[in-house]
């Protein structure tokens, strides 16, 4: 277990699992994971923030959707793209794509080829953004470049 996961566990006891608090703890963990440039499963996210039953996966997916809304509002790549479903062969659960569609970032079928392309692009952008020490979520300069888009309107 990493030091970050231990620290997150200690935070759980004092702060509880309110959605905003859980989302903050999860973002902190995913920022560390981004540096490794590999996805984690929903269960690994549950374990990292030391949730206990019941409904642990649901709690994590709610927190991830909260993070997606924050990232969309700030023009950042979805850090939630780092979390995947063990059952979907490397894709996040359909709720990831539903949330991305609600936020105006995804159009398509959550089980189709557009889902694979969207997730790959979002995962790569998130890892590039969140793994960079200068950004670590503190500034959004260069996000358009990370996604391969022009920064000009």
Number of domains in the chain: 1
> Quick one: pLDDT at residue 10?
38
Which pLDDT tens digit goes with each residue over 89-140? 899 999 999 999 999 999 999 989 999 999 999 999 999 998 877 555 444 4
More confident site: 141 or 25: 25
Q: Is residue 126 part of a domain?
A: yes
Q: Does residue 152 form part of some domain? A: no
Count the alpha carbons within 13 Å of 62 in the hemisphere toward its beta carbon: 11
Query: Residue 20's pLDDT band (boundaries 50, 70, 90)?
Result: confident
Q: What is the mean pLDDT of residues 50-59?
A: 91
Residue 153 belongs to some domain of the structure: no
Whether residue 21 is contained in a domain is answered as: yes
- Predicted local confidence at residue 12, as pLDDT: 40
Q: Where are the beta strands (DSSP E) in the chain?
A: 40-41, 83-84
ω into 97 cis (within 30 of 0): no
Q: CB–CB of 84/95 below 8 Å?
A: no
Task: Answer whether residue 114 is part of any domain.
Answer: yes
Containing structural domain, residue 133: 3-146
In a domain, 151, yes or no: no
Structure confidence at residue 153 as a pLDDT band (50, 70, 90): very low
Residues 134-147 have a mean pLDDT of 45
pLDDT of residue 16 exceeding 90, the answer is no
Give the Cα separation of 80 and 63 in Å (integer).
Answer: 9
Mean pLDDT of 25-41: 95
């Amino acid at each position: 277990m990493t030091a970050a996961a231990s620290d997150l566990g200690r935070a759980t006891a004092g702060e509880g699992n309110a959605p905003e608090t859980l989302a903050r703890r999860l973002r902190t963990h995913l920022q560390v994971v981004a540096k490794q440039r590999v996805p984690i499963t929903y269960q690994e996210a549950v374990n990292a923030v030391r949730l206990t039953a019941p409904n642990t996966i649901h709690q994590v997916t709610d927190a991830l959707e909260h993070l997606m809304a924050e990232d969309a509002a700030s023009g950042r790549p979805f850090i939630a793209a780092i979390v995947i479903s063990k059952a979907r062969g490397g894709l996040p659960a359909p709720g990831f794509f539903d949330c991305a569609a609600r936020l105006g970032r995804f159009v398509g079928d959550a089980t189709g080829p557009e889902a694979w392309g969207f997730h790959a692009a979002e995962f790569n952008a998130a890892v590039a953004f969140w793994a960079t020490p200068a950004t670590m979520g503190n500034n959004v300069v260069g996000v358009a470049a990370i996604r391969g888009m022009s920064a000009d309107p």
